[in-house]
Amino acid sequence: MVNAGSDNVSVIDAEMNTVVATIGVHARPYFIDVAQDGKHAYVANSGSSNVSVIDLEKRIVIGNVRVGASPGLARVSPDGSTVVVSNRGDNTVSVIDTKFLRVRATLPVCQQPEDIAILPDSSKAFVACSGSSQVASIALLSGTQQNANQKSDRLMALLDVGRTPVSLTVKPDGGELVVCNFDSDSISMIETGNDEVGNSLEIGQHPARGVVTLDSSRLYVTNFGSNSVAIYDIDMGRRIDTLTVGSRPDGLALSPDENYLLVLDTQSGDVTVIQKRRPRRTLETSEYSLLTLIPVGMQPNAIVVKAFMASKPAKR
Q: Which of 303, 293, 181, 182 is nearest to 251 (CA)?
A: 303
Contact 231, 211 (CB under 8 A): no
pTM of the model: 0.88
List 283's β-bridge partners, or say none. Answer: none
Strand partners, 86: 73, 93
Each residue of 135-162: pLDDT tens digit? 999 999 875 544 556 678 999 999 999 9
Domains, the chain, with CATH or none: 203-307 (2.120.10.30)
Half-sphere exposure of 160 (CA within 13 A, CB side): 0
The pLDDT tens digits of the residues spanning 51-83 come to: 999 998 898 999 999 999 999 999 999 999 999
Give the number of other Cβ atoms within 10 Å of residue 303's Cβ: 14
Cβ atoms 29, 9 nearer than 8 A: yes
Are β-strands 218-223 and 228-233 bridged in parallel, bridged antiparallel, or unpaired? antiparallel
